[in-house]
């Protein structure tokens, strides 16, 4: 019975959108971390943070993955997940939901790598990295590169092009007063660098995610050619719609263009 229950839960989880999946994992880990830290062992959560010390990192090799789902303070997870939800929904609609997990994970790993390099080269000792900020930064940068002039509403202020919203938030959260939470902000930069690389390549038609996929075997050459032509046509249509958004804003799209945008994005 327990196996059936687990299978049902996994199937239910997979039925959620990727944005919801990531939000759920972060929320569950946050609750469990705080419950265990307060009731059993306050230092338990450090086993899921990424240490800068290489020797400790060797024994906790999994932490470059687990740290990006780990938060301890309510304010930390609240602002990270609010920004993630906002950017993740736009990313899913414009860039494609199938790419969201990839950018979240690889953006977080890029942040972890830069964090480790920085502390081992410039600051001796040991520090710990936790939080989804690097991953969320990567997602925001990719989205801003792909649709820089997409209008977004900022609470109580007005509507602005996406690129300026992302830039201002990056400067406020990362560059200004970098002496505070230096490790976390270095990780932000790592996530941003990956987002910049991925977004620029994606705009050129080069999806780095494809390098991590195995090419299917036993497919005829004709089917590959047909699939390639179809994908090229979709990319051309998407580029035309995004160009129109960049020139005149999202609201200038016709209902048919909006439906086409959602249809193409759902395939990505």
- Strands 128-129, 151-154: pairing is unpaired
Place of tokens 């710990």: 128
Strand partners, 153: 159
The residue ranking higher by pLDDT, 207 or 266, is: 207
Examine the domain organization and report whether 116 and 64 are in the same domain.
Answer: yes
Examine the domain organization and report whether 80 and 139 are in the same domain.
Answer: yes
Structure confidence at residue 186 as a pLDDT band (50, 70, 90)? very high
Other C-beta atoms within 10 Å of 110: how many? 25
Examine the domain organization and report whether 66 and 174 are in the same domain.
Answer: yes
* Whole-number pLDDT of residue 107: 97
DSSP state of 180: T
Other C-beta atoms within 10 Å of 263: how many? 12
Kindly state the helix (H) or strand (E) to which residue 84 belongs, with its residue range.
helix 74-91
Mean of the pLDDT values across residues 144-157? 84
Indicate if the pLDDT at residue 57 is higher than 60: yes
Examine the domain organization and report whether 199 and 233 are in the same domain.
Answer: no
Mean of the pLDDT values across residues 219-231? 43
pLDDT single digits (tens) 115-129: 999 999 988 778 999
The token pair at 15 is 């039925």
pLDDT single digits (tens) 87-138: 999 999 888 888 999 999 999 999 999 999 999 998 877 899 999 999 999 9
Examine the domain organization and report whether 25 and 123 are in the same domain.
Answer: yes
The token pair at 189 is 């930069």
Examine the domain organization and report whether 169 and 246 are in the same domain.
Answer: no
Identify the sign of the CA torsion 31, 137, 173, 47.
positive
Examine the domain organization and report whether 56 and 183 are in the same domain.
Answer: yes
Number of domains in the chain: 2
Q: What is the CATH number of the domain that holds 147?
A: 1.20.1540.10
Examine the domain organization and report whether 156 and 188 are in the same domain.
Answer: yes
Examine the domain organization and report whether 160 and 131 are in the same domain.
Answer: yes
- State which residues form the domain around 74: 2-213
* Whole-number pLDDT of residue 232: 55
Strand partners, 161: 151
Radius of gyration of the chain (CA): 20
152: three-class secondary structure by DSSP: strand
């Amino acid at each position: 019975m327990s196996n059936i229950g687990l299978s049902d839960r996994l199937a239910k989880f997979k039925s959620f959108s990727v944005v919801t999946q990531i939000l759920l994992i972060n929320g569950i880990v946050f609750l469990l971390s705080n419950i265990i830290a307060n009731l059993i062992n306050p230092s338990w959560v450090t086993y899921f943070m990424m240490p800068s010390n290489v020797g400790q990192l060797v024994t906790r090799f999994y932490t470059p993955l687990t740290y990006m789902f780990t938060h301890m303070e309510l304010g930390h997870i609240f602002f990270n997940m609010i920004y993630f939800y906002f950017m993740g929904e736009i990313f899913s609609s414009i860039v494609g939901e199938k790419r969201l997990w990839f950018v979240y994970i690889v953006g977080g790993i890029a942040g972890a790598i830069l964090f480790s390099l920085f502390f081992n080269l410039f600051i001796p000792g040991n520090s710990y990295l936790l939080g989804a900020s690097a991953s969320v930064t990567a997602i925001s940068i990719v989205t801003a590169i792909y649709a820089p002039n997409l209008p977004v509403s900022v609470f109580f202020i007005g509507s602005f092009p996406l690129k300026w919203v992302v830039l201002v938030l990056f400067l406020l959260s990362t560059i200004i007063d970098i002496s505070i939470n230096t490790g976390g902000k270095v990780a932000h930069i790592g996530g941003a660098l990956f987002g910049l690389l991925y977004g620029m390549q994606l705009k050129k038609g080069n999806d780095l995610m494809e390098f991590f996929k195995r090419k299917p075997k036993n497919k005829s050459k004709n089917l590959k050619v047909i699939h390639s032509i179809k994908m090229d046509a979709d990319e051309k249509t998407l580029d035309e719609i995004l160009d129109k958004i960049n020139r005149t804003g999202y609201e200038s799209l016709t209902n048919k263009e909006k439906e086409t945008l959602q249809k193409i994005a759902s395939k990505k």
